[in-house]
């Protein structure tokens, strides 16, 4: 290989290493904040879901109201 070809090859290798590093960092950022990970780590343990409770109450009322007819 000539000197210029070696230099181009080294520059290309450096650029590819930088691209690979950026891809790994972005992938880590994307996968780090996953919803399932937050649940597994107890991220929502202290929050109350009133929507589910309200839905259950409405279902009970419908069921009770339907059986009385």
Of the candidates 41, 11, 28, the one whose C-alpha atom is nearest the C-alpha of residue 3 is 11
Distance (Å, rounded) from C-alpha 15 to C-alpha 1?
20
Q: Which residue has the higher pLDDT, 60 or 40?
A: 60
* Per-residue model confidence as pLDDT tens digits over 44-57: 666 565 666 777 78
Q: Alpha helices of the chain — where are they, by DSSP H?
A: 3-32, 35-40, 50-68
Residue boundaries of the structural domains of the chain: 1-32
- List pLDDT tens digits, range 22-49: 999 998 888 776 777 777 777 666 656 5
Size (the chain), residues:
69
Phi, psi of 41 (to 5 degrees): -85, 5
């Amino acid at each position: 290989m000539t000197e210029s070809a070696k230099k181009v090859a080294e520059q290309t290798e450096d650029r590819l290493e930088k691209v690979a590093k950026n891809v790994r960092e972005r992938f880590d950022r994307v996968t780090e904040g996953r919803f399932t990970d937050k649940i597994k780590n107890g991220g929502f343990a202290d929050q109350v879901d009133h929507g589910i409770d309200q839905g259950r109450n409405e279902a009970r009322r419908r069921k009770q109201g339907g059986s009385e007819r």
